[in-house]
Structure 1
C-alpha cells in the first residue's frame, strides 16, 4: 500500500511541474518576446516605403510593436522587404478587415527576437519569363535567431514559401556553424501553399514548401499546412535539427519530408548527423502526388537520426503510403531513435487522426476573417481537390484587388503583452463557415423567395 501511494505522489509531482496555476498544460517556452514592452508604431499607408509604411516601421530601432491602422495590399513591386533590426513584433491581427496582404515580393528576416503574426504574402510570377531570375521566397530567415512566425499565409513563392536559411560553415567548429546560421525559429499555424513550379526561377521547376538549411537548429514546425508544393515539406539539410508536430502535408508532388546532406556542398568538411523528431503529422496525397511517395525520404551522403511517432501517410484514396524511402544510392543511413530528439514538453499534441480537421480551422492569417485565396486552398484541401500550379493566374485573376480600409488602433482595447483584444473579438471577426460562394450558390443556400 505504501509503495502504491508513493507512486501516485510521484506522478502528481510530475503533473504539477507540467501544469500551471490555471490547471492547463504548461505551454512550451516561447523563444522570444519580440518587441513586447516597446513603443507602438502605427502603419498608416499601403505604400511600400516612406512615412507611415511597414518598411519604415521594421527599419526603426529599438523594441517596437507594429500595428496597422490601414488594411489592403502592399505592393512591393518585385522587391523584398528586409528586416534587420531586432526586438520587433508585427501584429497583423490589429489591422481592420480584411487585413494586410503583401504582393509581388517577400520577406527576408536577418535580425533576431522577432514575432510576425497574421500577414499574407502572395509573391507570384508577375508575368516574368521562364528562367528570368525572379526567385523570391515568400518568407525566409537569413542567419536569424529567436523568431516566431505564426498565423501567416504564404502563397505563390518562386523559391520557398517559408524557410530558415543562412551560411553553412561560418566558423571553425560545428557549434560556431550553428550559432552563425538560423536557429531557434518557430513556424506555427501557417499556410504554405501553391509554390509556383515552372515559373521564373533560374533553375526551372521550383515549387517548394520549406528549406531548413545546413546546420540550422531549434527549428519547429507546429500545426502548419503545406499544400500543392512539388517538394520540401520540409527539406532538412545536413546537420540541421527539426521538430515537427501535427502538420498536414497535402498533395506534394515528388517528395514530402526529406533529408539531404549533399557531398557536393560539404566538400572539405566532416559530416554532421541531422535530427528530425516527427510526431502526429499527416501526409495525404492529391492529384499531383507520385504513386508510392513516402512520408520521409533520405537522400545525400550524411546520416539522419530520426524519431517518429503516430505519423500517417495515405494516397488520395486513403490507401497507406510508406513511411520511409530514399533517393540516391549513397551511404546515408537512417538512425532510428528510441526517444524524441527535441523536447515535446508543453505542446498540445493531437493524435494524427484528429489533425486535419483541427488545423484546417486554425492555420493561416486571420482565420476569423479569411481572404478568398486562403478559403479556396483550405476548402480544396478538405475536398481533396487542387493542383500544383506554374502561375498565379491558373487559380483566378491573379493578385487580389483589395479595397483599402482604415480604423484607428486603440492600445487600451488590446492586451499588449499577448496582442489579443481585451473584448475577445478581433477586427472583422465573422461567425460560422467562411465559404466563398458564387451568386448562384448563394441563392441556392438562401432558398426560393429569399
Structure 2
C-alpha cells in the first residue's frame, strides 16, 4: 500500500528529479507579479526542461479568473525564496498536468472574483490531472469554489485496470498544507459545495499527511472507487456534513468490474465544531465497492468534547435495510494489516498547527486566523471570501535570489 516511492517522497519532498535532471536543473527567476509576460510565474511554468523557479518578488498575483496550467515536467516551484509577504495567487488556481513537480510555500485563494451565486465560476485551488510524481507541500489553499486540493483524471483511460491507474493521477503527495474555508453557497453552478480534497476513481499512490483541513463541508478527503490513499497525521477541524470518505458510485462504473479501494487512516485528529453534523464519524463509508482499510491511532471528538466514532456509513438511497430496519451496505470494509515504515509525529495537533501552510515562519493574517480558530474551536464554514476579510491587499516587495533560501525549510533542496 505504501510503496517505496511514496515513502521517499513523503520524507524527502523535493527529491523527485532523477539525479541527472537535478544536476542539470537551471534557475528561473520570477521578477514580476504580472499574471503573464516576461518574468512572470506563468512564463516560468511554461518553460521546458528541468528547472527550479525562484522568486525575486513578493506579493499578490491576480489571475483574473484564469488557471495557471503546468504542462512541462521536472520543475520545483520554491515559494520560500520570495521576500515577505511571499506569493499569494487570487481569483484563480493551478492545474498540474505533467510529472515530476514540486510546489511549496505558495498560497492559492481563488474566491468568487465577484461572480454571482450559481454563476458557474468554479475554480479549484490546486488540482492534478493525469499527473504523477507530484508533491504539494507547505501550501495554503483557501476559498476554493470547487475542490481546494485534489488528484484527478479520467476514471477509465484504457482497457485494463493497470491502464486506468497509469492514465490518471498517481504517486501524489499532499503534505503540510492548510486546506480551509472552501466556499459553500457561492458561485458553483450546483449551489452549495465547500469541498476539501478529491482522490478520484483509480487514483493510486496518494499520501496525505501533516495537513490542516478546516471549515470545509465535505471531502477530507473523498477517495472514490478503486482509489488508494494514505491519510495519516492530519487534523480535521470543524468538518461540516462529512469528514473523510470512501465510496464507489455504482452508476459511474456501469459495465465494469468494481475494484476495491485501499486506505490507511492513521494518527489523524478530528475536532468537531459549530458546523459539524451530529453523529459524524471521521470516515464515512458506503457505495457499491469494498474498501481495504487499516485504521489505528485516530482521535475524534465533537465540539462538546464527547467522543465521535471513527467509522460511519452512508445512508445511501442505493443501499437498503433488512426487515428489522438494520442498515445493510452493498459493500464491505476489509481489514488491512498495519503498514510498515509509517512514521508520524508524537503529537499530531502540535505538529500540524506549528508546521502547516505556506511560510509557517511568517504566516499571513489569513492563515494565522484559520489556525487560531481551529485551536479555539470557533471556525465556521463560509460562503464568500468577504467573510474572511476579502482578498488581501499587500505591497509588492523585492529581493535578489539567495541560493541559501532553498535550504531554509526542513532540509528541502
Settle same-fold status: TM greater than 0.5. yes
Distance of 1:102 and 1:26 partners within structure 2? 25
Number of matched residues? 388
- TM-superposition CA deviations, 1:85-138 (whole Å, max 9, x none): 000000000001110000000000001000001000001012211111111100
Q: Which residue of 1 aligns with 2:370?
A: 377
Equivalent residue for 2:387, pick from 394, 410, 413: 394
Cα drift, residue 348 of structure 1: 3.2
Does structure 1 residue 36 correspond to structure 2 residue 17?
A: no
Taking structure 1 as the reference length, the TM-score comes to 0.84
Cα drift, residue 150 of structure 1: 0.3
Q: Which residue of 1 aligns with 2:326?
A: none
Q: Which residue of 2 aligns with 1:84?
A: 71
Q: How does 1:48-87 map to 2 (within 5 A)?
A: 48-87=35-74
Cα drift, residue 300 of structure 1: 1.3
Does structure 1 residue 145 correspond to structure 2 residue 132?
A: yes
Secondary structure at the counterpart of residue 400 of structure 2: coil
* Unmatched tracts of structure 1, length 5 or more: 1-24, 425-450
Q: 1:410 to 1:337 in 2, by over 3 A?
A: closer
Distance of 1:242 and 1:225 partners within structure 2? 17
Q: 1:391 to 1:235 in 2, by over 3 A?
A: same
Secondary structure at the counterpart of residue 381 of structure 1: helix
Distance of 1:148 and 1:243 partners within structure 2? 14
Q: Retained in 1: the 8 A contact 2:124–2:145?
A: yes
Distance of 1:29 and 1:274 partners within structure 2? 26
Cα drift, residue 27 of structure 1: 7.6
Larger radius of gyration: 1
Secondary structure at the counterpart of residue 359 of structure 2: coil
Q: How does 1:42-441 map to 2 (within 5 A)?
A: 42-327=29-314, 328=316, 329=319, 330-340=329-339, 344-345=340-341, 347-351=342-346, 354-396=347-389, 398-411=390-403, 413-414=404-405, 419-421=406-408
Q: Retained in 2: the 8 A contact 1:36–1:65?
A: no
Cα drift, residue 206 of structure 1: 1.0
Secondary structure at the counterpart of residue 362 of structure 2: coil
Q: Retained in 2: the 8 A contact 1:224–1:246?
A: yes
- TM-superposition CA deviations, 1:353-399 (whole Å, max 9, x none): x2112210000000001111000000111111110001011122x10
Q: Retained in 1: the 8 A contact 2:10–2:173?
A: no
- TM-superposition CA deviations, 1:261-317 (whole Å, max 9, x none): 001111111100001101100111000001110011112111111001111110012
Taking structure 2 as the reference length, the TM-score comes to 0.91
Distance of 1:259 and 1:179 partners within structure 2? 21
Distance of 2:62 and 2:9 partners within structure 1? 40
Distance of 1:79 and 1:153 partners within structure 2? 18
- TM-superposition CA deviations, 1:409-430 (whole Å, max 9, x none): 133x35xxxx2149x9xxxxxx
Cα drift, residue 244 of structure 1: 1.2
Distance of 2:393 and 2:116 partners within structure 1? 23
* Unmatched tracts of structure 2, length 5 or more: 1-7, 320-328
Distance of 1:27 and 1:399 partners within structure 2? 32
- TM-superposition CA deviations, 1:165-189 (whole Å, max 9, x none): 0000001110110000000000100
Cα drift, residue 203 of structure 1: 1.0
Cα drift, residue 36 of structure 1: 3.2
Q: Retained in 2: the 8 A contact 1:33–1:115?
A: no
Q: Retained in 1: the 8 A contact 2:9–2:16?
A: no
